[in-house]
Protein backbone atom coordinates (compact mmCIF):
# COMPACT_ATOMS: atom_id res chain seq x y z
CA UNK A 1 0.00 0.00 0.00
CA UNK A 2 1.39 3.38 -1.04
CA UNK A 3 2.09 5.93 1.66
CA UNK A 4 2.89 9.45 0.49
CA UNK A 5 6.11 11.12 1.56
CA UNK A 6 5.74 13.32 4.62
CA UNK A 7 8.06 15.80 2.88
CA UNK A 8 5.88 16.16 -0.22
CA UNK A 9 5.21 19.88 0.23
CA UNK A 10 8.79 20.99 0.92
CA UNK A 11 10.02 21.52 -2.66
CA UNK A 12 7.01 22.65 -4.68
CA UNK A 13 5.74 26.20 -5.14
CA UNK A 14 1.98 26.90 -5.27
CA UNK A 15 0.32 29.86 -6.96
CA UNK A 16 -3.26 31.12 -7.02
CA UNK A 17 -5.02 30.60 -10.33
CA UNK A 18 -5.73 34.16 -11.36
CA UNK A 19 -7.75 35.97 -8.69
CA UNK A 20 -9.37 32.76 -7.42
CA UNK A 21 -8.66 31.03 -4.14
CA UNK A 22 -7.46 27.86 -5.90
CA UNK A 23 -3.71 27.24 -5.72
CA UNK A 24 -1.96 25.03 -8.25
CA UNK A 25 1.54 23.59 -8.13
CA UNK A 26 4.04 25.26 -10.44
CA UNK A 27 4.41 21.89 -12.15
CA UNK A 28 1.36 19.70 -12.82
CA UNK A 29 1.16 16.18 -14.29
CA UNK A 30 -0.65 15.67 -17.58
CA UNK A 31 -1.92 12.20 -18.46
CA UNK A 32 -2.23 12.89 -22.20
CA UNK A 33 0.44 10.31 -23.05
CA UNK A 34 1.61 7.09 -21.35
CA UNK A 35 -1.56 6.38 -19.36
CA UNK A 36 -3.63 4.62 -22.00
CA UNK A 37 -4.10 0.93 -22.80
CA UNK A 38 -0.68 0.78 -24.42
CA UNK A 39 1.05 1.89 -21.21
CA UNK A 40 2.46 -0.24 -18.40
CA UNK A 41 0.22 0.06 -15.36
CA UNK A 42 2.95 -0.34 -12.73
CA UNK A 43 4.91 2.45 -14.44
CA UNK A 44 1.82 4.69 -14.38
CA UNK A 45 1.57 4.15 -10.64
CA UNK A 46 5.23 4.97 -10.07
CA UNK A 47 4.89 8.17 -12.11
CA UNK A 48 1.86 9.28 -10.07
CA UNK A 49 3.48 8.41 -6.76
CA UNK A 50 6.69 10.23 -7.64
CA UNK A 51 4.70 13.27 -8.68
CA UNK A 52 2.66 13.43 -5.49
CA UNK A 53 5.66 12.65 -3.28
CA UNK A 54 7.25 15.80 -4.71
CA UNK A 55 4.31 18.13 -4.30
CA UNK A 56 2.56 17.74 -7.65
CA UNK A 57 -1.04 17.76 -6.50
CA UNK A 58 -2.68 18.41 -9.87
CA UNK A 59 -3.45 15.53 -12.25
CA UNK A 60 -4.89 16.58 -15.61
CA UNK A 61 -6.96 14.32 -17.88
CA UNK A 62 -9.55 14.47 -20.66
CA UNK A 63 -12.28 12.12 -21.78
CA UNK A 64 -10.40 11.14 -24.94
CA UNK A 65 -6.93 10.57 -23.46
CA UNK A 66 -5.64 7.11 -24.27
CA UNK A 67 -5.35 5.26 -26.50
CA UNK A 68 -8.13 4.06 -26.48
CA UNK A 69 -10.27 7.09 -25.58
CA UNK A 70 -11.26 6.89 -21.93
CA UNK A 71 -8.47 4.53 -20.96
CA UNK A 72 -6.33 7.17 -19.21
CA UNK A 73 -9.28 8.01 -16.95
CA UNK A 74 -9.90 4.33 -16.28
CA UNK A 75 -6.28 3.67 -15.38
CA UNK A 76 -6.09 6.76 -13.19
CA UNK A 77 -9.33 5.71 -11.53
CA UNK A 78 -7.75 2.37 -10.70
CA UNK A 79 -4.74 4.13 -9.18
CA UNK A 80 -7.09 6.29 -7.10
CA UNK A 81 -9.04 3.26 -5.91
CA UNK A 82 -5.96 1.26 -4.99
CA UNK A 83 -3.66 3.93 -3.58
CA UNK A 84 -4.06 7.66 -4.19
CA UNK A 85 -7.73 7.96 -3.31
CA UNK A 86 -7.04 8.24 0.42
CA UNK A 87 -5.41 11.61 -0.42
CA UNK A 88 -8.37 12.87 -2.50
CA UNK A 89 -8.73 16.11 -0.55
CA UNK A 90 -5.08 16.94 -1.31
CA UNK A 91 -5.52 16.42 -5.05
CA UNK A 92 -6.70 18.61 -7.91
CA UNK A 93 -8.17 16.35 -10.61
CA UNK A 94 -9.31 17.86 -13.89
CA UNK A 95 -10.89 16.49 -17.02
CA UNK A 96 -12.27 17.87 -20.28
CA UNK A 97 -14.77 17.32 -23.07
CA UNK A 98 -14.80 18.86 -26.51
CA UNK A 99 -13.12 16.50 -28.96
CA UNK A 100 -14.57 13.44 -30.70
CA UNK A 101 -15.41 10.78 -28.11
CA UNK A 102 -18.21 8.49 -29.31
CA UNK A 103 -20.14 7.93 -32.59
CA UNK A 104 -23.07 10.04 -33.66
CA UNK A 105 -23.97 13.71 -33.36
CA UNK A 106 -23.78 13.92 -29.54
CA UNK A 107 -20.18 12.90 -28.88
CA UNK A 108 -18.19 15.93 -29.99
CA UNK A 109 -17.80 19.73 -29.73
CA UNK A 110 -19.70 21.84 -27.19
CA UNK A 111 -23.38 21.03 -26.84
CA UNK A 112 -24.98 20.75 -23.42
CA UNK A 113 -25.96 17.17 -24.31
CA UNK A 114 -22.35 16.18 -25.00
CA UNK A 115 -20.61 17.99 -22.16
CA UNK A 116 -22.86 16.75 -19.36
CA UNK A 117 -23.01 13.19 -20.65
CA UNK A 118 -19.24 13.15 -21.03
CA UNK A 119 -18.70 14.41 -17.49
CA UNK A 120 -20.90 11.64 -16.12
CA UNK A 121 -18.87 9.09 -18.08
CA UNK A 122 -15.57 10.56 -16.86
CA UNK A 123 -16.68 10.44 -13.23
CA UNK A 124 -17.73 6.83 -13.64
CA UNK A 125 -14.40 5.84 -15.23
CA UNK A 126 -12.43 7.49 -12.44
CA UNK A 127 -14.76 6.39 -9.63
CA UNK A 128 -15.24 9.99 -8.46
CA UNK A 129 -18.19 11.99 -7.23
CA UNK A 130 -16.70 15.21 -8.62
CA UNK A 131 -13.70 16.65 -10.44
CA UNK A 132 -12.01 19.81 -9.26
CA UNK A 133 -11.90 21.41 -12.73
CA UNK A 134 -14.10 20.58 -15.73
CA UNK A 135 -12.94 22.11 -19.01
CA UNK A 136 -14.51 22.72 -22.35
CA UNK A 137 -11.68 21.40 -24.49
CA UNK A 138 -11.95 23.60 -27.60
CA UNK A 139 -13.97 26.42 -29.10
CA UNK A 140 -17.09 25.32 -30.98
CA UNK A 141 -17.91 27.57 -33.95
CA UNK A 142 -21.48 26.26 -34.29
CA UNK A 143 -22.87 25.89 -30.76
CA UNK A 144 -23.95 29.12 -29.04
CA UNK A 145 -21.38 30.10 -26.44
CA UNK A 146 -24.25 30.59 -23.96
CA UNK A 147 -25.18 26.92 -24.28
CA UNK A 148 -21.66 25.65 -23.72
CA UNK A 149 -21.04 27.94 -20.76
CA UNK A 150 -24.45 27.03 -19.36
CA UNK A 151 -23.41 23.38 -19.39
CA UNK A 152 -20.22 24.18 -17.46
CA UNK A 153 -22.22 26.21 -14.95
CA UNK A 154 -24.67 23.33 -14.53
CA UNK A 155 -21.80 20.90 -13.93
CA UNK A 156 -20.58 23.12 -11.09
CA UNK A 157 -24.05 23.78 -9.67
CA UNK A 158 -24.78 20.04 -9.62
CA UNK A 159 -21.67 19.38 -7.53
CA UNK A 160 -19.98 17.32 -10.23
CA UNK A 161 -17.22 19.94 -10.66
CA UNK A 162 -15.86 22.59 -8.33
CA UNK A 163 -14.49 24.97 -10.97
CA UNK A 164 -14.89 25.55 -14.70
CA UNK A 165 -12.02 25.85 -17.16
CA UNK A 166 -11.54 26.60 -20.85
CA UNK A 167 -8.96 25.05 -23.15
CA UNK A 168 -7.71 26.19 -26.56
CA UNK A 169 -9.75 29.41 -26.52
CA UNK A 170 -8.46 32.68 -27.92
CA UNK A 171 -8.52 35.88 -25.89
CA UNK A 172 -11.65 37.47 -27.33
CA UNK A 173 -13.79 34.33 -27.05
CA UNK A 174 -12.48 33.62 -23.57
CA UNK A 175 -13.53 37.08 -22.38
CA UNK A 176 -17.04 36.60 -23.79
CA UNK A 177 -17.24 33.18 -22.13
CA UNK A 178 -16.02 34.61 -18.83
CA UNK A 179 -18.73 37.28 -18.90
CA UNK A 180 -21.41 34.61 -19.37
CA UNK A 181 -19.99 32.49 -16.56
CA UNK A 182 -19.87 35.53 -14.29
CA UNK A 183 -23.57 36.13 -14.92
CA UNK A 184 -24.23 32.49 -14.05
CA UNK A 185 -22.14 32.81 -10.85
CA UNK A 186 -19.90 29.98 -12.04
CA UNK A 187 -16.29 30.00 -10.79
CA UNK A 188 -14.22 29.98 -13.99
CA UNK A 189 -10.57 30.01 -12.90
CA UNK A 190 -8.21 28.60 -15.52
CA UNK A 191 -7.29 28.51 -19.22
CA UNK A 192 -5.36 25.57 -20.61
CA UNK A 193 -3.41 26.36 -23.76
CA UNK A 194 -0.34 25.26 -25.64
CA UNK A 195 2.65 27.46 -24.82
CA UNK A 196 6.38 27.04 -25.26
CA UNK A 197 9.46 28.78 -26.56
CA UNK A 198 8.51 27.36 -29.97
CA UNK A 199 4.78 28.12 -29.77
CA UNK A 200 3.80 31.66 -28.77
CA UNK A 201 0.18 31.49 -29.98
CA UNK A 202 -1.31 32.76 -26.71
CA UNK A 203 0.82 35.89 -27.09
CA UNK A 204 -0.61 36.62 -30.56
CA UNK A 205 -4.26 35.53 -30.15
CA UNK A 206 -4.89 37.69 -27.09
CA UNK A 207 -5.30 34.90 -24.56
CA UNK A 208 -2.31 35.76 -22.39
CA UNK A 209 -3.19 39.44 -22.13
CA UNK A 210 -6.92 38.76 -21.64
CA UNK A 211 -6.27 36.29 -18.83
CA UNK A 212 -4.15 38.86 -17.01
CA UNK A 213 -6.72 41.57 -17.62
CA UNK A 214 -9.66 39.72 -16.08
CA UNK A 215 -7.74 37.73 -13.48
CA UNK A 216 -7.85 34.18 -14.83
CA UNK A 217 -5.09 31.62 -14.55
CA UNK A 218 -3.22 29.89 -17.36
CA UNK A 219 -1.88 26.36 -17.34
CA UNK A 220 0.45 25.58 -20.24
CA UNK A 221 0.49 22.25 -22.02
CA UNK A 222 3.27 21.05 -24.34
CA UNK A 223 5.82 23.39 -22.69
CA UNK A 224 8.58 21.16 -24.08
CA UNK A 225 7.10 21.19 -27.60
CA UNK A 226 6.42 17.43 -27.54
CA UNK A 227 10.01 16.74 -26.49
CA UNK A 228 11.81 19.04 -28.95
CA UNK A 229 12.91 21.29 -26.07
CA UNK A 230 14.88 18.52 -24.38
CA UNK A 231 18.22 16.84 -24.98
CA UNK A 232 16.51 14.05 -26.96
CA UNK A 233 17.13 15.58 -30.36
CA UNK A 234 20.45 17.37 -29.96
CA UNK A 235 22.11 14.80 -32.23
CA UNK A 236 19.20 13.89 -34.47
CA UNK A 237 16.30 11.49 -34.03
CA UNK A 238 16.84 8.53 -31.67
CA UNK A 239 15.35 5.23 -32.82
CA UNK A 240 13.15 4.96 -29.73
CA UNK A 241 11.81 8.52 -29.94
CA UNK A 242 8.11 9.36 -30.17
CA UNK A 243 8.68 10.49 -33.76
CA UNK A 244 9.67 6.91 -34.67
CA UNK A 245 7.17 5.05 -32.48
CA UNK A 246 4.10 7.33 -32.53
CA UNK A 247 3.80 10.01 -35.18
CA UNK A 248 0.40 11.30 -34.06
CA UNK A 249 1.74 14.31 -32.18
CA UNK A 250 5.25 14.87 -33.52
CA UNK A 251 6.25 14.07 -37.08
CA UNK A 252 9.73 13.69 -38.53
CA UNK A 253 9.30 16.58 -40.96
CA UNK A 254 9.11 18.99 -37.99
CA UNK A 255 12.74 18.30 -37.13
CA UNK A 256 14.35 20.28 -39.95
CA UNK A 257 17.99 21.25 -40.02
CA UNK A 258 17.04 24.75 -38.93
CA UNK A 259 15.01 23.42 -36.01
CA UNK A 260 17.88 21.18 -34.91
CA UNK A 261 20.21 24.16 -34.91
CA UNK A 262 17.70 26.19 -32.87
CA UNK A 263 17.52 23.37 -30.31
CA UNK A 264 21.31 23.23 -30.04
CA UNK A 265 21.61 27.00 -29.68
CA UNK A 266 18.95 27.06 -26.97
CA UNK A 267 20.76 24.22 -25.22
CA UNK A 268 23.82 26.43 -25.10
CA UNK A 269 21.91 29.17 -23.30
CA UNK A 270 20.51 26.62 -20.86
CA UNK A 271 24.00 25.31 -20.11
CA UNK A 272 25.12 28.85 -19.35
CA UNK A 273 22.29 29.08 -16.80
CA UNK A 274 23.28 25.78 -15.20
CA UNK A 275 20.12 24.12 -16.49
CA UNK A 276 19.21 21.41 -18.93
CA UNK A 277 17.28 22.53 -22.01
CA UNK A 278 14.07 21.05 -20.57
CA UNK A 279 14.54 22.85 -17.26
CA UNK A 280 15.11 26.15 -19.02
CA UNK A 281 12.10 25.63 -21.30
CA UNK A 282 9.83 25.07 -18.30
CA UNK A 283 11.39 27.99 -16.42
CA UNK A 284 10.80 30.23 -19.44
CA UNK A 285 7.07 29.46 -19.42
CA UNK A 286 6.91 30.42 -15.72
CA UNK A 287 9.22 33.43 -16.08
CA UNK A 288 6.80 36.37 -15.71
CA UNK A 289 4.10 35.03 -13.39
CA UNK A 290 1.36 35.04 -16.03
CA UNK A 291 1.32 31.24 -16.20
CA UNK A 292 0.05 29.55 -13.05
CA UNK A 293 1.37 26.07 -13.80
CA UNK A 294 3.11 24.04 -16.50
CA UNK A 295 1.77 20.63 -17.48
CA UNK A 296 4.44 18.00 -17.97
CA UNK A 297 4.11 14.47 -19.20
CA UNK A 298 6.38 11.61 -18.19
CA UNK A 299 7.20 8.16 -19.47
CA UNK A 300 9.22 7.30 -16.38
CA UNK A 301 9.36 8.62 -12.80
CA UNK A 302 12.84 10.12 -13.15
CA UNK A 303 11.51 12.68 -15.61
CA UNK A 304 9.27 14.09 -12.89
CA UNK A 305 12.29 14.77 -10.69
CA UNK A 306 14.10 16.43 -13.59
CA UNK A 307 11.14 18.64 -14.48
CA UNK A 308 10.50 20.04 -11.03
CA UNK A 309 14.06 21.39 -10.92
CA UNK A 310 12.81 24.11 -13.25
CA UNK A 311 11.12 26.01 -10.42
CA UNK A 312 14.49 26.63 -8.78
CA UNK A 313 15.42 29.28 -11.36
CA UNK A 314 12.68 31.11 -13.24
CA UNK A 315 14.53 34.43 -13.45
CA UNK A 316 15.91 35.49 -16.84
CA UNK A 317 18.04 38.47 -17.73
CA UNK A 318 16.91 40.73 -20.55
CA UNK A 319 19.89 39.51 -22.55
CA UNK A 320 18.90 35.86 -22.10
CA UNK A 321 15.33 36.57 -23.17
CA UNK A 322 16.54 38.49 -26.21
CA UNK A 323 18.83 35.64 -27.25
CA UNK A 324 16.03 33.07 -26.83
CA UNK A 325 13.72 35.20 -28.97
CA UNK A 326 16.35 35.72 -31.66
CA UNK A 327 16.92 31.98 -31.86
CA UNK A 328 13.33 30.77 -31.73
CA UNK A 329 11.22 33.41 -33.49
Rounded Cα distance, 196 and 64, in Å: 23
3-state per-residue secondary structure call for 172-220: HHHHHHHHHHHHCCCCEEEEEEECECCECHHHHCCHHHHHHHHCCEEEE
Tens digits of per-residue pLDDT, 138-186? Answer: 999 999 999 999 999 999 999 999 999 999 999 999 999 999 999 999 9
Rounded Cα distance, 263 and 225, in Å: 11
Q: Which CATH number covers residue 116?
A: 3.20.20.100
Domain that holds residue 95: 14-227+287-312
Is 298 among the domain residues? Answer: yes
Is 247 among the domain residues? Answer: no
What is the number of structural domains in the chain?
1
Is 19 among the domain residues? Answer: yes
Is 34 among the domain residues? Answer: yes
Is 33 among the domain residues? Answer: yes
CB 58 within 8 A of CB 12: no
Q: What are phi and psi of 46, to 5 degrees?
A: -65, -40
Is 267 among the domain residues? Answer: no
Is 256 among the domain residues? Answer: no
CB 236 within 8 A of CB 263: no
Predicted TM-score (pTM) of the model is 0.95
First-last CA distance in the chain: 49
In angstroms, the Cα distances linking 186 to 109, 158, 177 are 21, 11, 11
Is 272 among the domain residues? Answer: no
Tens digits of per-residue pLDDT, 243-287? Answer: 655 655 566 778 888 999 999 999 999 999 999 999 999 999 999
Amino acid sequence: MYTASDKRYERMAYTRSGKSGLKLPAVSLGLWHNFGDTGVYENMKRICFTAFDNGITHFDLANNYGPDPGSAEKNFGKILKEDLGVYRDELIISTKAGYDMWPGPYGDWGSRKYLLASLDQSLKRMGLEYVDIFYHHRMDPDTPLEETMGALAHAVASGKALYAGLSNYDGETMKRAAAILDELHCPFVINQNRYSIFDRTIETNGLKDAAAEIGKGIIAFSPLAQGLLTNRYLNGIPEDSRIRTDGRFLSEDVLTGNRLQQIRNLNGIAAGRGQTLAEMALSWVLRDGSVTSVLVGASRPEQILDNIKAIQNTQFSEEELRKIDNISL
